[in-house]
Amino acid sequence: MPSVIEFTAPPLPHYIISGFSPLPVGGKHPSRKNIGAFDLLVVVQGCLYVEEGGHEYEITEGHALILRPDSSHYSYMGCKEETLHYWVHFQILGDWKVIEEEDYLACHGRYPEGEPGYLSLPPFEITPYNIALPQFTKLAQPQKMAETISELNEMNRNIHLASVRLRQQALFQDVIMLLSASLGADGPSPQSACAERAASYLREHYREPFSAKQLGEAINFHPVYIARCMQKVFGCSPSTYLLRLRIDQSKLLLIQTDLPVERVAEEVGFNHAAYFTASFTRFEGMAPRKYRQRFAWNKG
């Protein structure tokens, strides 16, 4: 039976660290006991096989599992295919409890019809509220979750800066909201499903020239509807989403290879190196060469 982790805020959950882990065939998630922090696993390809508290979980693409800080967990089976997953360690600084999801949903429905959906709150007082997270769930917006955690990972390069740590904590609350929104959901909304399909297509074809008409034909939605859905879910148009995606891919090439900037631009779908440099500088606040000098791994 699925479980729910319920806690009272404030304080809000605290982000510790995150990462991205590829596992080969036969690879396993580490076995641990009472690690003292929550461990969120989000699978984007393949499947992880993890046991905790007598429950065996198959975490497939688009699913998430929260491992508890007070329990033991281990992989009861190796990966049957190459598996890619994000992980996030976080802590809940206040009290929390685990209850059955069925019991939670039965007791925490919407307000009855005719009953006001608000409370009269005393002024100037901090009023606690409850937050519930599904321990194991099919994510309502898996692509957005993956991109949010990826952005958290990118910030780790500058984690020594107090301003970056503050932005990470703020961004991590988006992870919490995405998890909470998946609780009891029968599936993504039509708008989320459209936006997720468009994002998935763009990620697979980011090197190719962009065409709103071709995107619409590929996922069987009208381009105007796609743009509206992506604006609602991702906060940007399909063309801007693609531009951000190309910039993210270029950062990997700048750090991990010695390719000239002009070749990097070509590899990620830019026809003109000058436009690539201008776009990169606008998004990252520095030119591609400066980014490479600052973040490239030491070699040799």
Residues 162-197: pLDDT tens digits? 888 999 999 999 999 999 988 866 666 788 889 989
Best CA proximity match to 136, nearest among 53, 63, 232: 63
Domain 190-295: give its CATH code. Answer: 1.10.10.60
pLDDT at 128: 84
Across 71-80, 118-127, 138-147, least confident range: 118-127
Q: pLDDT-derived band of residue 114, with 50, 70 and 90 as boundaries?
A: very low
pLDDT at 101: 77
pLDDT at 71: 92
Q: pLDDT-derived band of residue 126, with 50, 70 and 90 as boundaries?
A: confident
Q: What are phi and psi of 257, to 5 degrees?
A: -130, 170
How far apart, in whole angstroms, are the C-alpha atoms of residue 110 and residue 106? 10
Domains 3-112+119-140 and 190-295 share a fold: no
At 226-284, the pLDDT tens digits run 999 999 888 899 999 999 999 999 998 998 889 999 999 999 999 999 999 999 999 98
How far apart, in whole angstroms, are the C-alpha atoms of residue 161 and residue 96? 30
pLDDT at 300: 34
Percent residues over pLDDT 70 in the chain: 90
User: Which class would CATH give 3-112+119-140?
Assistant: mainly beta
Q: What's the mean per-residue pLDDT of the chain? A: 88
How far apart, in whole angstroms, are the C-alpha atoms of residue 245 and residue 265? 12
With 0.85 as the threshold, say if the pTM is over it.
Answer: no
Q: Pull the structure tokens for residue 108.
A: 């925490």
How far apart, in whole angstroms, are the C-alpha atoms of residue 263 and residue 253? 10
Q: Pull the structure tokens for residue 277.
A: 């440099």
Is residue 107 predicted with pLDDT exceeding 90? Answer: no
Domain boundaries, the chain: 3-112+119-140, 190-295
Tell me what the mean pLDDT of segment 101-110 comes to: 66
Lay out the sheet containing 55-60: strands in order across.
32-33, 72-75, 47-52, 55-60
Best CA proximity match to 92, nearest among 180, 5, 184: 5
